[in-house]
Amino acid sequence: MVQTMSDKQTVTPENGSQEFPQNTILKGVGVSVGIGIGQVVVMDRLVTEICPCRILTPEEIGDELARFENAVQEAEKRLNTIKSHIVADHPLGDHSYILDTHILLLRDKMLYEGTRRGIEQGRQNAEWALSEVMSRISTAFESVDDEYIRERAKDVYFVGERVLRLLLGVSTEKKIHQLPGNSILVVHDLSPADAAQIKRESVLAIATDIGGRTSHSAIMSRSLKIPAVTGLEKICRMVKTGDTIIVDGSTGLVILNPDAEMMFRYRQRQDLLRNYHQSLLAYGRLPAVTRDGSRTIKILANIELVDEIDIALAHGCEGIGLFRTEYLFLGREDLPSEEEQFEAYRAVLALNKPSPVTIRTLDIGGDKIASSLNLPPETNPAMGLRAIRLCLNLKGLFKTQLRAILRAAHYGNCRLLVPMISCITEIHSTKAIIAEVKAELGSEGVQFGEDTKFGILVEVPAAVAIADLLAREVDFFSIGTNDLIQYALAIDRLNEHVNYLYDTLHPAVLRLIRQVVNAGQAYGVSVAMCGEMAGDPVNVPILVGLGIDELSMNALSIPLVKKLIRSISYDDCLELTHQAFQMQSAQEIHDFLEKWIFEKFPGDYFLSQQ
Ligand code: PEP
Ligand code: MG
């Protein structure tokens, strides 16, 4: 992060944040274009910092002890409920010991007795007493070398936080859905569960300390049309609620304490961009056919929530190329029932009929954590028990989702997409479960989409290597470049420190894509792309040249991508692709493609970078 500021910073005593000179500029990673100017709401103060503190009268002590006891019992009840939901077919066999441990920790000597002592002897209210114990625990253990002990201390802290939230009467999630209008949301990290709660009418922009371009929170910000900058490292501590800031999601700049002239300049840019995007909308209604008429690319939208359909349709999507269904599971403590899922899938299918809707089966894991599943933490979640691996292990959960999807498929043009396939056995196992579900639905006399198409996300390099084998098993491929790049280039897509290496145009990535297209063409399997790469205008000519049949993207990108495809010829794309494949580095290819686009579409190039 670059910080431009004079050394005359002062610290305001009440909140610890600093007062910066006017127009202090922070540089992060712009992950969702557009400009937001508004008042900061910092959502990351720890629960312990918002605890009310009160000295009890001697008469109040008994009631306070009872209040604490009730909160502990309620926490125990909720942990038992979670346990009853998932123990039956948990992937790690009986891992209920983790929940049992948390239940036992509720009565941990340090935590439980320590809090009671604070109430009884210190005459502190329960929240205060508990938060003091929690602070002591984290201070005492944070410098311990032994990782195992540090992790156990974290468990105690986690359990304490659960009780604290119950005492405070706040939900376990941050209250992001209740932000006031015109807010600029500032958080340390925005989990996909947090992002799913955002109401786009009240959040003007998002700024976070950590996170990369293809993190799911970044993807959500783009879907919701909310400008966002991540990787600002310390913005949470630098600003306070009520400060005015500017977030420029295109350049990755955040301006603290802007003066009138700066505000004026940014408001002008905001107007320019608004008019530009408005003028592009007409292209959304047209097909993406190359200028010579020889190739038509289907342009679809990626969505996370049913609510995003209106934006997708307004921007001219020709169906949904990726419905990330796991968002139905995030930010809640229970699991969505078959009925709830069925209604969501049916709504999306019905709204798009007769266009296709590609429903991806659960891709939980990585940065998408469903607290209802209470899965144990993993050292390397991106390579852990996620997506199809988790579903094949949690067969009950998977079957419920498949029932809901197949039932909904009766109401539209449904395609089933399975994430993170890395070997053929996973396809066989998945198909066996689908067959089982179909047989059950059939014997119950329930209507379902018998001929639902079956496809896989090609996002693990191993799947690319055996694409010829996999092609014989599926109706379609969809290339998930977000993960494919992460795994092929060994770059954690969530880590802002290695983001500079995350290169869509790395020659290795282009060769992997070509391999998938070739396998698809050889076996008559259509090849789509639904990773973020598909929606970046700079990549469009090479993706057309490579022979991709379908591009699925953030809805906002659709009009510009259609405009570009309609203005270029297929022969030009083939020639450009041929030349790019002679080049040796991502930078060389990027410069070449950028120059090509710039020369042909200077206005669009300039404005799409804003
Ligand atoms: C991908 O990996 O490219 C993809 C589309 O899926 P997700 O971003 O949800 O992992
Ligand atoms: Mg993926």
More confident residue, 9 or 224: 224
More confident residue, 371 or 324: 324
- For residues 151 and 195, state if they share a domain: no
Q: Ligand 2 centre and the CA of 304: distance in Å?
A: 13
Position 42: which residue type? V
Instruction: Tell me if 64 CB under 6 Å of ligand 1.
Output: no
Which of 143, 168, 193 is a domain's end point? 168
Q: Whose CA is nearest to atom 1 of ligand 1?
A: 480
Which of 117-121, 156-160, 168-172, 292-296 is predicted with the least confidence, judged by mean pLDDT? 168-172
Residue 49 belongs to a domain? no
Residue 456 — pLDDT band, cuts 50, 70, 90?
Answer: very high
| pLDDT surpassing 80 at residue 535 | yes
| Ligand closest to the CA atom of residue 327 | 1
- For residues 187 and 133, state if they share a domain: no
- For residues 18 and 76, state if they share a domain: no
Residue holding tokens 């783009």? 222
Question: Across residues 509-533, what is the average pLDDT?
Answer: 98
Instruction: Tell me if 366 CB under 6 Å of ligand 1.
Output: no
User: What's the mean pLDDT when you consider all of the chain?
Assistant: 88
Q: How distant, in Å, are the alpha carbons of 16, 125, 183, 187, 258 from that of 241?
A: 12, 27, 9, 11, 15
| pLDDT surpassing 70 at residue 174 | no
How many structural domains are present in the chain? 3
Q: How many other CB atoms are there within 10 angstroms of residue 126's CB atom?
A: 28
Q: Whose CA is nearest to atom 8 of ligand 1?
A: 482
Its pTM surpasses 0.85: no
Q: Whose CA is nearest to atom 6 of ligand 1?
A: 480
- For residues 422 and 504, state if they share a domain: yes
Which span out of 73-87, 457-471, 496-510 was modeled with the highest average pLDDT?
457-471
- For residues 239 and 256, state if they share a domain: yes
Q: Which two tokens stand for residue 134?
A: 């929690």
More confident residue, 148 or 58: 58
Instruction: Tell me if 530 CB under 6 Å of ligand 1.
Output: yes
For residue 353, which phi and psi values (nearest 5 degrees)?
Answer: -55, 135
Residue 40 contacts residue 17 (beta carbons within 8 Å): no
Which of 104, 133, 168 is a domain's end point? 168
- For residues 152 and 293, state if they share a domain: no
- For residues 551 and 404, state if they share a domain: yes
Residue 427 belongs to a domain? yes
Q: What is the pLDDT of residue 240?
A: 84
Residue 54 belongs to a domain? no
Question: Across residues 30-37, what is the average pLDDT?
Answer: 92
Read off the DSSP letter of residue 37.
Answer: E
Beta-carbon contacts of 247 under 8 Å, excluding residues fewer than 6 positions away, are: 35, 36, 37, 184, 204, 205, 206, 207, 227, 228, 229, 254
394-439 pLDDT, tens digit each: 999 999 999 999 999 999 999 999 999 999 999 999 999 999 999 9
Residue 336 contacts residue 329 (beta carbons within 8 Å): yes
Residue 34 contacts residue 271 (beta carbons within 8 Å): no
Burial 330-356 (b: 16+ CB within 10 A, else e): bbbeebbebeebbebbbbbbebbeebb
- For residues 164 and 189, state if they share a domain: no
Residue 105 contacts residue 156 (beta carbons within 8 Å): yes
Q: Ligand 2 centre and the CA of 46: distance in Å?
A: 31
- For residues 228 and 358, state if they share a domain: no
Burial 579-605 (b: 16+ CB within 10 A, else e): ebeebeebeebbebbeebbeeebeebb
Residue 517 belongs to a domain? yes
- For residues 158 and 197, state if they share a domain: no
- For residues 413 and 515, state if they share a domain: yes
Residue 270 belongs to a domain? no
Residue 51 belongs to a domain? no
More confident residue, 401 or 277: 401
For residue 390, which phi and psi values (nearest 5 degrees)?
Answer: -65, -45
Residue holding tokens 């083939």? 574
CATH number at residue 87: 1.10.274.10
CATH number at residue 206: 3.50.30.10
Mutate to test the pocket of ligand 1, among 323, 327, 386, 459 (most ligand atoms within 8 A of CB): 459
CATH number at residue 429: 3.20.20.60
Q: What is the pLDDT of residue 481?
A: 97
Q: What's the distance, CA 599 to chain centroid? A: 34
Instruction: Tell me if 326 CB under 6 Å of ligand 1.
Output: no
Residue 15 — pLDDT band, cuts 50, 70, 90?
Answer: very low
- Determine the structural domain holding residue 187 and report its residue range: 2-44+175-261
Whether residue 377 is preceded by a cis peptide bond, meaning omega within 30 degrees of 0, is: no
Question: Across residues 94-102, what is the average pLDDT?
Answer: 68
| pLDDT surpassing 70 at residue 609 | no
- For residues 218 and 99, state if they share a domain: no
Q: How distant, in Å, are the alpha carbons of 159, 204, 240, 256, 308 from that of 244?
A: 36, 12, 9, 7, 29
For residue 342, which phi and psi values (nearest 5 degrees)?
Answer: -55, -45
Residue 20 belongs to a domain? yes
| pLDDT surpassing 50 at residue 12 | no
Residue 275 belongs to a domain? no
Q: Which residues are catalytic?
A: 216, 530
Q: Which two tokens stand for residue 299?
A: 């342009």
Listed in order, strand segments (DSSP E) in 257-345 are 288-289, 296-303, 320-324
Residue 454 — pLDDT band, cuts 50, 70, 90?
Answer: very high
Q: Whose CA is nearest to atom 4 of ligand 1?
A: 480
